[in-house]
Structure 1
Amino acid sequence: MSKKHSPKSMLILLVAIMMMFSMAACSSGDSKKAGETTDSGKSAVKLTENDPGWKADTSPITFDWYLNFSWFPNKWGVDPTSQYITKKTGVNINFIVPAGNENEKLNTMIASGKLPDFITLGNTEDAFQRMIDGKLVLPLNELAKEYDPYFFKVSDPAKLAWYTTKDGKVYGYPNASSSPEDYKQYGNTYIGNQVFAVRKDMYEALGKPDMRTPEGFLKALQAAKEKFPDVNGQALIPLGLHEFTEKGNYSLEAYIQNFLAIPKEKDGKLYDRETDPEYVRWLKTFRKANELGLLSKDIFIDKRPQMEEKIAQGRYFAMLYQRSDFTAQLNTLYAANPEATYIAIDGPANANLDAPKLDGPGISGWTVTLISKDVKDKARAIRFLSYLNSEEGNKDLFLGEKGVTYDTIDGKDQFKPEALELLNKDRSSFDKKYGASFTFWMLMNTNITTKWNPAQVEPFKQLEDWTKGKIVSGSQFELLDPLGNSTEGIINNKIGLLRGKTLPKLLMAGSDAEFDQIWADYLAKRAEYGMDKVQAYKQAKYEENMKKLKEFIN
């Protein structure tokens, strides 16, 4: 007996069938839609390595870009350079910057399993590997193969090889990166950041003393304190150092070791620079300086803001410091009195008085940029990254828009006089008014932009010129530290904290004998913690680095 269906039941059946077809269509299109751009089709355009992919779609799109640097002050779209790039590419950027502790913010995002479209962080951060292990970021080489072969044309094969994981994928691309091959082409243009700076007027008034030996160093500090006891009513600080942190002090570790030209390896084995006799001799020199009242209590407690204030006041006689960290203060001093500025001189040296061997740009770069698995548009993201990484993109980021920030002057593309004047006078104001000269540095290639660099002027030129010829390539020594949550990483962290507690004690020791005891205890504690395991890990990474450099770099 047949059963009749009511019109209502037929309608329900028809709707159900339509929904099934709709779901099937959605399901069959998922893989394609995941890579489509917002213009629904242009991502499928067949592109070659010679085709700048970003030109395929310049419709408006906004990417969220996380920068793991709480100090980054700039916004996209408020200056003519970023406005020009948005008009050109269609891409707008919403920067996300942590308000407080960077690690806490990034760890929270990683724990949530969801990240902004782009992420830029220091290449030594544990979070870099954790995002890869957690499959929170996409392989750039695979995105490029599917959506933008141009990426391979504008990316350095050596740097891609350096960041290739064991599964053949590349998740991050560096900025400010220079391979050993780059040193052959650009090495004579490289400048260092580490300087031993003195206040010009005071140094010259003391007869330009030789401060390369411990004796000359202490004598000069003593003479400065006696001849210039105060600066504008405030006590002179004979020596300035980087701030003391829970894990040590840059000035008293790698910086002084580089000035002493202490090797990083010997006969293929990583060298424990801390145990070098020259290093210990100079730590004892700093201890003696403290005993003589030449180390102000301020240097043990001041953080960067307090140091910047005192540099601007010219209160330090000498500083073992990073020149880029006091450019604004240098400008202030120089504008008030060119003779009261800071200049670089030959500072602490080893017993042979060898020239320093300063760290230069390495293949790892400064930061790495990644693309999140949650990126709203894969094609547009990899294409925009390629654009920023290209010579065209770097020129736009560096020089800005022609006629606004730069022009062709005397046959060379260079900053307009008014822009250059502001750049040299007030970097912060330049960033806000023009947004050029790598205000947005996420993919900056400092090798490409060498040809557009303006001639340096004082008070910066002397400091930069002093570093030339002292720069060495150290790519093989990069990224050696173990991840923080590994066995070796936990040990390394404990040793770092131990060093942080020990350094002030060494400088405050009442005698060399007390110093020797503190130092012996420190070395014994390091060994007890498992220093040998950390050294073995770093040695293996070093050998892996050497293998990579030999395989991929001619």
Structure 2
Amino acid sequence: MKTIKGILAAALVMTALTGCGGGGGEKAASGDDKGAAADSNAPITLTWFDKNTGDAFNNPVAKAITEKTGVTVEIQQPTGNPVEKLNLMLASGDLPDVVMLDRGSDIMNKYISSGAIIPLNDLIDKYGPHIKEMYGDTLAKTKNDDGKNYYFANWYGLEKYPVFGFMMRMDIMKELGVGDKVNNGEPFTAEEFENLLVKFKEKYPTIDGKESIPMTLNGENIGSVSGTFKGMFGMMPYYETNGELKKDIRDPRYLEMVKFLNSLYRKGLLDKEWATMKTKQFEQKLAGGNVFATAEALWNVGNPNSLLKSEASDPAKADERQFYQYKVLAPGVSADQTTYGPKSSLGWDGVAITRSNKDPERTMKLLDFLASEEGQYLLMWGVEGKDWDMKDGKHVPRPEVLDAFKKNWDEASRTTGIRKWTWMIKNGPGSDGTPYDLIGRFQSDPVTDLAIKNLADTSFDTAPYDNLGPAGGTPEAIMDTKVNDTINKYFLKMALAPTEEQVTEQYNQMMKEVEAAGLSKLEKIYTENYKKRQQLWTESK
């Protein structure tokens, strides 16, 4: 993720099984030969659909994987919409050997319920020692309702890392008299933050001939806006009361949160155009030099920050021209109660073996290798002796590799294979303390370093609350969509209301509409699914 780049992805395939030429691999073992084949590295080819990439499996990392395991992967190009492609494959029954798809999505549920992907528990017991070691209780937490594992998550494991926060130009903060707080890790109160916006507006009515903007937001990314302001008020994904889960709009802090956002708008401290801005316009505004603050995910300001740095008149102060992330406390909320860092310990995507796979044993052996520490460093650091070396018991990347990613991330990943496929990837450090994610975590920058100092302690695990809604394709799912659309519509209406009284009026109207749309019924589903999940996790330990 982010000043770093974003969350990326994975892929693999099997030509000999389908008769499609290409890998030069032999046919997968069948019948009595399977047990022996599972313990061998005889060459085979697996077909693999990865929703994130269609690049050929022919770079140095790919070749090293084949050398280690005997498996050649034939990547199936996910042209067009990957979900549409996955639906087509499911409908036709023309499945690859392995699929990688969104972990908590409706399409994953379809693949499980239709039998398109197979249970993995017996295979894990026989061929997955590294999977058991690395995944730990993640295996228990990713079990289906029937108690079986159907996929392996990637980017799993809770990492203390910043997500949302209030971002301010450090050079301007110093000019406004808070230079003592720019680096010391102390949070700002809501009043202190608002006073900075006021001071900025008073001190700089215009900058370089342009009207100054105390704060702007990305109207195309309401998730970052609401996530930041909710984090300030310590709100959670659901409002828990009397053992039941309620939509967060029932949390008394929700209305307080929206009123604070609205007050910034009514006082002229918030960009009048923010609600209609697209991401590109938002980035252009931040890079224009006349904006002081925003509310965003850490990784969404990389482009504006790069431009601001490049245009610094004094190179020694270039870093200070960037937007840095800070913790702001709502009234009555302590620093340790803020929730700026929602992250799921269960990851993003799921790697699954399909019913068409003729050699699930060899496939599991491959996945077990990829999940191992050796496999993690191969996927994310590249080839030992070429991309990195082991010195004094630690992985040490070669400078030319780091430089190549700084110059052109995509090209470096394509040519080296480093971070090209994120199958089975785990968050955090390996046994020597170096991060598995070389490019995303090994080297940092001042913006990321300060964000970690200011906000990493706000991280919390959203896994207990993820995907608690009704099953896709049901009347309740349509109901859920309508409720969420209504909330999103009224969020903007409340944020832009001309008076505080009208914020309350809009809130009350929103509550009437979502109740009429079936909110109470949905909340019973959220609570029921939540309790089932807790029971399943407890029983699986």
Whether TM-score is above 0.5 comes out as yes
TM-score, normalised to structure 2, is 0.80
Whether contact under 8 Å (1:151, 1:383) holds in the other structure is no
- Look up the SS of the partner of 2:395 in the other structure: strand
Whether contact under 8 Å (1:151, 1:386) holds in the other structure is yes
| Aligned CA distance change for structure 1 residues 327 and 384 (closer, same or farther; 3 Å) | farther
In the alignment, the residues of structure 2 paired with residue 78 and residue 330 of structure 1 have an alpha-carbon distance, to the nearest angstrom, of 35
Cα shift at 1:220: 2.5
> What are the within-5 Å matches in structure 2 for residues 472-491 of structure 1?
472-491=460-479
Whether contact under 8 Å (1:214, 1:282) holds in the other structure is no
Query: 2:19 corresponds to which residue?
Result: none
Q: Which moved more, 1:355-364 or 1:491-500?
A: 355-364
Whether contact under 8 Å (2:30, 2:359) holds in the other structure is no
Query: 2:348 corresponds to which residue?
Result: 366
In the alignment, the residues of structure 2 paired with residue 430 and residue 231 of structure 1 have an alpha-carbon distance, to the nearest angstrom, of 39
Whether contact under 8 Å (2:150, 2:352) holds in the other structure is yes
- Look up the SS of the partner of 2:296 in the other structure: strand
1:64 aligns with 2:45: no
Q: Which of 31, 35, 38 lines up with 2:27 in the alignment? A: 38
Cα shift at 1:493: 0.7
Cα shift at 1:128: 1.1
Encode CA deviations 1:18-38: one digit per residue, 9 max, x unaligned.
xxxxxxxxxxxxxxxxxx982
Cα shift at 1:153: 3.9
Aligned length: 494
1:199 aligns with 2:174: no
1:224 aligns with 2:200: yes
Cα shift at 1:357: 2.7
| Aligned CA distance change for structure 1 residues 494 and 534 (closer, same or farther; 3 Å) | same
TM-score, normalised to structure 1, is 0.78
Whether contact under 8 Å (1:175, 1:445) holds in the other structure is yes
- Structure 1 unpaired stretches of 5+: 1-35, 48-52, 184-188
Whether contact under 8 Å (2:153, 2:351) holds in the other structure is yes
Q: Which of 221, 227, 232 lines up with 1:259 in the alignment? A: 232
Aligned-residue CA RMSD (Å): 3.3
Cα shift at 1:196: 1.9
Query: 1:165 corresponds to which residue?
Result: 144
Whether contact under 8 Å (1:64, 1:95) holds in the other structure is yes
Cα shift at 1:289: 2.2
State the one-letter code of the partner of 2:416: Y
Whether contact under 8 Å (2:161, 2:452) holds in the other structure is yes
Cα shift at 1:469: 2.3
Whether contact under 8 Å (2:165, 2:340) holds in the other structure is no
Encode CA deviations 1:37-77: one digit per residue, 9 max, x unaligned.
82546984647xxxxx877235252523231x5xx5x7244
Whether contact under 8 Å (2:47, 2:73) holds in the other structure is yes
| Aligned CA distance change for structure 1 residues 483 and 419 (closer, same or farther; 3 Å) | same
Whether contact under 8 Å (1:37, 1:377) holds in the other structure is no
1:285 aligns with 2:260: yes
Cα shift at 1:313: 4.8
- Look up the SS of the partner of 2:139 in the other structure: helix
State the one-letter code of the partner of 2:195: K
Whether contact under 8 Å (2:164, 2:295) holds in the other structure is yes
| Aligned CA distance change for structure 1 residues 447 and 44 (closer, same or farther; 3 Å) | farther
In the alignment, the residues of structure 1 paired with residue 414 and residue 141 of structure 2 have an alpha-carbon distance, to the nearest angstrom, of 35
Whether contact under 8 Å (2:176, 2:200) holds in the other structure is yes
Query: 2:325 corresponds to which residue?
Result: 344
State the one-letter code of the partner of 2:153: P
In the alignment, the residues of structure 1 paired with residue 59 and residue 208 of structure 2 have an alpha-carbon distance, to the nearest angstrom, of 39
Whether contact under 8 Å (1:117, 1:372) holds in the other structure is yes
Whether contact under 8 Å (1:119, 1:369) holds in the other structure is yes
Q: Which of 98, 119, 129 lines up with 2:99 in the alignment? A: 119
- Look up the SS of the partner of 1:452 in the other structure: coil
Cα shift at 1:127: 1.1
In the alignment, the residues of structure 2 paired with residue 57 and residue 213 of structure 1 have an alpha-carbon distance, to the nearest angstrom, of 60
Query: 1:303 corresponds to which residue?
Result: 278
Encode CA deviations 1:237-260: one digit per residue, 9 max, x unaligned.
433435447xxx213434422332
Whether contact under 8 Å (1:176, 1:361) holds in the other structure is no
Sequence identity percentage: 22
| Aligned CA distance change for structure 1 residues 358 and 219 (closer, same or farther; 3 Å) | closer
In the alignment, the residues of structure 2 paired with residue 44 and residue 330 of structure 1 have an alpha-carbon distance, to the nearest angstrom, of 58
Q: Which moved more, 1:155-164 or 1:204-213?
A: 204-213
State the one-letter code of the partner of 1:256: F
Q: Which moved more, 1:205-214 or 1:527-536?
A: 205-214
Encode CA deviations 1:58-116: one digit per residue, 9 max, x unaligned.
5252523231x5xx5x72446433343244333234153353x5544444443434333
In the alignment, the residues of structure 2 paired with residue 61 and residue 449 of structure 1 have an alpha-carbon distance, to the nearest angstrom, of 30
1:461 aligns with 2:449: yes
Whether contact under 8 Å (1:239, 1:317) holds in the other structure is yes
Encode CA deviations 1:424-482: one digit per residue, 9 max, x unaligned.
5654444234332x332232111454722235343322222322322233432233122
State the one-letter code of the partner of 2:395: D
Cα shift at 1:270: 2.4
Cα shift at 1:485: 1.8
Encode CA deviations 1:491-517: one digit per residue, 9 max, x unaligned.
111101111221221122111122111
Query: 1:6 corresponds to which residue?
Result: none
Whether contact under 8 Å (2:230, 2:340) holds in the other structure is no
Cα shift at 1:540: 1.2
State the one-letter code of the partner of 1:369: V
Whether contact under 8 Å (1:175, 1:443) holds in the other structure is yes
- Look up the SS of the partner of 1:383 in the other structure: helix
Query: 1:84 corresponds to which residue?
Result: 64
State the one-letter code of the partner of 1:110: L
| Aligned CA distance change for structure 1 residues 143 and 38 (closer, same or farther; 3 Å) | farther
State the one-letter code of the partner of 1:516: T
Q: Which moved more, 1:205-214 or 1:316-325?
A: 205-214
In the alignment, the residues of structure 1 paired with residue 306 and residue 42 of structure 2 have an alpha-carbon distance, to the nearest angstrom, of 41
Query: 2:135 corresponds to which residue?
Result: 156
Query: 1:294 corresponds to which residue?
Result: 269
Q: Which of 402, 422, 443 lines up with 2:424 in the alignment? A: 443
In the alignment, the residues of structure 2 paired with residue 79 and residue 239 of structure 1 have an alpha-carbon distance, to the nearest angstrom, of 45
In the alignment, the residues of structure 1 paired with residue 407 and residue 141 of structure 2 have an alpha-carbon distance, to the nearest angstrom, of 38
Q: Which of 476, 499, 510 lines up with 2:498 in the alignment? A: 510
In the alignment, the residues of structure 2 paired with residue 170 and residue 151 of structure 1 have an alpha-carbon distance, to the nearest angstrom, of 16
In the alignment, the residues of structure 1 paired with residue 496 and residue 86 of structure 2 have an alpha-carbon distance, to the nearest angstrom, of 37
